[in-house]
Structures are given as C-alpha cells and as structure tokens.
Structure 1
C-alpha cells in the first residue's frame, strides 16, 4: 500500500537493491480518487506533452495510425535517424558536469523515449528487460503483460509481440523477466521466466518457441549469451552460476556464495565472466572454470551497480542507480583505466535493465516509469 492508498500486487517478492524512489504524477478524478497520470507512448526530448494528449493511452492491436518517425526530435513528417548536427541548446559542453557521490560526472540528456503505462502495443505494464537485435530491432520484456514486444530501434515503431495468448506454442510464457540475444545466431532470443516456475525459453526472432529448459533454477536474476552460444545465468540469493549450451544441456554449475552477496547482472567476453554485486559495490571477474580472477572496485564510481554490458571494443559499461542514473566506462585491458563517468540530467526512478548497440555505443534503458530511454554515449 503506497502513500496514496493504492496497492499493486506482484507475483513474487522481488530482490531488493539500492534504488532512487520514483516520483510519478498523480491526479484526482471526478469521484475524488487519486489515479496515476498516464505516460506518453512515444516522446522525444524536445516535444511537449500536449502533442499526444488526444491519443488513446491503450489502443487496440488493430488500431492503425499513419507511420511516422516516432523517435524524431523535431520533424514528425519525415524519417530522421541520428541527427548529424544538434542545436546549441542540446549540445553538452565539458563544463556541464555534476558532482555526485564524491565524483564529477558529465551530464547526458536522453535522445528519445518510448512507452507509457498500459496494455496497448506502445505501452508497458512492467518493462523488466530490453535487448538490441542485430537486425536493428529492440525487444522489450513486459513482465506483467506476459509478452515480449518488438520495436524498430531507429523509428520506435511497434512491429509485433509474442507470448502467452499471442503466439501458438508459447502460451505458457508467464511473467518473463530477462532477455538476451544469441550473437550471430539469427537473433534467437533467450528469455528467463521467474514465476511461477523458473525456466529458460529460446525463441526465434519472430517469437516461435524453439525449446525450454532449466526447470531446476530457483532464483534466476540475470543472463547473457557469449560468442560461443553458451548461456550464462546467475542466481540471486543462492549465488549460483549456471552454464548451458544453446540446446539446453547443463555444462557447469558453480557455487559462488563465498565471492558474492547480491549479484545483479552478468556479461562475458567469451573467456571471462563479469558479475556485478550490488551489496559489495564491485564487479567481479571469473574464469570459465568458476575461479575469481580479479575485482573491479572504485570508490565513488562503482557504488550500487545494477547492470553491466560490454561494447564491441570490449569496454565495460557499468550502470548504478545510486541517487539517479550513473554510467562509468572502463577500458578493455583488464578494466584498469576509467574512460568516462556520466550521469543523467533527469533522475530516473529505477533502472530495470539496459541494452547496448555495440558499434554505435547507444544505450537503451528500461525504467520503472514504464518507459525505455535512449542515450548516446560519447565514446
């Protein structure tokens, strides 16, 4: 029960981590009942909220609109991808820094956003995970809607969805939680389901169920798929690292309870495994034999890590949510050199998951306010 007398049922007790509280708009209807202000389906950083007030918050699946560039900052009548020139108003200068938690960080402004609360194609009930497909699509896991929604990553246009009640053969996909893309594997999608029975689903990029396995999992928290198509799953509370082949065979299970307290995210460069620990304020690096190799720990820069990703150069991108979004990037050579530290101009309520477009260093961020934000990292 929150301070406004509203409650929201959840399927299970989610793991707690250090997050910044959400500040959401509310209003009072004609009956005197407080209700949540709906979010915009598509919105750029420069477009006023009133532009979309006449649109339905949750259009039906057969609702048709004129295709437009929903990501565009200025002109909605033409397709505008990444602008080659930005106005002086949007250009960040080296002086635009902010002192946070004992460190100076360059301030970044999100380029575009997608989503609102609701059940329509362009809305989410809980966007817990996001993944960028090599074909240029963006897949978003909508946990409480029991489906995965796929958008064009350049225009933000909804394309299709799959999950319970939407695709023949996978009606049993209930409360999907995390998603990862098989690299160089025709964009096959690996999805973790946490409730009511934890397991792993493998889908084609179009949502056709290929197989499911991993019913022995108990508390799967995060996953990644390496270049050799090995599926790595880290469990919270149990601190176990599971390694599967793409066809579902168990390769290894490592107990890391002596090295970890609360793992939150995992990634791999195909010979080292990186795991963030929210409570130990660190990133730990393991071999594929389960041995701890080294630790990446920097006071005031890695505080409460929630997500980690590797870009195409092997540089480590760390995300933490201590008093807002904080991004720190380390070099590819054992992460000994910090390449940049950034923070968001706005205070995101809670970072649920991130995806990286490796070559462009574009960061897609799923937030607790039912939206997916896009940031261009200055690397």
Structure 2
C-alpha cells in the first residue's frame, strides 16, 4: 500500500478538528500489525474488573436504571455510541440508548475536575439508537439502527431534538462530520450495507441536502467516487440497492474523521477501512485475517474514535471485551480489557476535550441485560 502523511489532530468542542504538531511521515498505511502497546502491557484487573496499562485508573460514572451519582437523573438502558463536547472549563458526555421502542440519548455534564455537575435527557421515544456522531456546531446526531431508521439531531446545550429525514432512511449506525468538504459520512449496519455521505444544502443546517453513496470495485483497495441516492427515503427500494456499482460493506459500525481521512469499521469481517479523501482512494487499516503473526488482537470491531495524539481507539462488540489502539505507525494492541462481562459489548468511546479522559460503556454489564449497562471513565497519561 502507498504510504501517506498524517498530521496529528485534536478534537475541539464537539468534533471540530484542528491540526497541530509536526508532520508524521509514513503514517497509517494498511493494515495494522500486532505489537506491544504504546503504554506497555495490561496489568491485573482493578476493582472494576478492568485491566489497564500501568498509570491508568478507571471509575464508574453511571449505571443503567440508577441515578447518575450527584443527580436525580436515571441513566438509560443499553448505553451505546457517545461523544464529548467542550463546555466552558468542563465538558459534556452524551450517550445513546440502544433499546426499542423507547430509545433515545442522555447527557452528563462535568466540571473542570471531572466531577458530575448534572445529567439530563436529549432524546426519547425513538428506536434502537446505536451510534451517531458529533457536529462542529455542537449537536449530537443520534442514529436509529432499524430498517428505515432515521438520524435525529440533538442539542446537548439545550433545545428539542429534530428528525433529519434528508439524511436517509436506512439502518443507520454512525456519523462523522468533515468540516473541510462540509459533509457528514454515514455507515449502514447491514451485511450488504453501504457507506454514504450527506451534503447539506447549507453547512450547519441538516434539514435539506443530497445523500450520496460510495461507488467502487469489489477489491479491498482502490479508487472511488460518489453517486446520488435517488430516493433517500428508502421506499420502495432500499437506499443500498438504488445505485449500480455502489460498494457493499459487511456490517458498517463506527466512523471517525480527521485530516482528510475517514475511518469506519465493519463487524461482519472484522475490518477497519480507511478512506483517503485527498486522492479518492480507500484501503484497509486493519483486517483480523491479515495479522501476522497472530492471533489478531481485535475482533468484533465496533465503535471507533481518535485521540489528540492521532491514535485510533476501536471498541469490541464481543471478542474479549477490549478497546484496542492503532497507532500512526500501523501497530495494534489492547489498551484495556473488561473481565467478567462476556455477554456485553464495549460502546461509546470518546475523549474529553483535553484528551486525558476516555469515556465508554459496557452496554449490558455483568448481567448481560440492557438494564445492566455501566458507563466508565479511564484517566491516565494518554499521549497528547
């Protein structure tokens, strides 16, 4: 694979990306290979059952069905996709609820020290809100993972959620905003799902625009183009079946944008895809079948996010309940592992604006039930 340059990215506020630091040569060529992690080996499990590298600690932030500590707000069941938003000297962590028919999204506001200040609802009464994505204008896109599902734009800083039908009706999974091209990328959780982009008529306003689908060959790398989806409402023909030559992906999951690149995961084949927007090419950033020597550290790939340093963090749905890190020099390793929760999945990884706290959830916790979700925070010497 041709190697490219990668500029370290930091997320400011919701997901507005600024680029700092020196130019990284030979970064993020595909696919990533097994290596010792940048933080060293995992230590014995802590009191929360989480194995972390030396110097890192975990804490429980909230539990499904219980009041968020310090508030009277009851945390939702089946916590899923999440993101952080800068809030003055503190920040807000938002999280979806992947239940139906009473899904939605909630938020927790933190002070500058990481203490809980308040918790509240952003969205309710929707269906199986799985992942989503933050926008540069400080809204959270909550995506319904159901047939003919919708994207809902929610407002962590106040305001009523709004359904955005122009973004298509299909089994939505995740979203990632590209402020350079002024588009939103979207994944589809079907075994023959597609990868989309939505071009708003006016950037910052998702009420109208054009839905497009990626068109490419059947190979795992090559060039691509975009084509308009004729009927974004997906009826009577599903959006994924409307454009001849659109590329199928096996179970689209998480999605993350930085520096002219968008990464997304597919759970059906345990892959992380890398779309190079500067030259309209795509390739594999990770494939569990191409790790040599094995065994592959990452299986059940799901949500994905990035750090201020430029590392990618990928959560497992199943596997051995790990969050794995892919470094810019194409090395992959386990960053953390949750023990005793094999009937769950890890969801919603997101860094606070400073990049020194990582939030995530175990969707079904130790009980294996959607009512047993646990939301955590890991603090430590993250590379920034």
* Structure with a larger share of its residues in strand: 2
Query: TM-score, normalized by length of structure 1?
Result: 0.49
Q: Which has the higher contact order (CA 8 A, sep 6+)?
A: 2
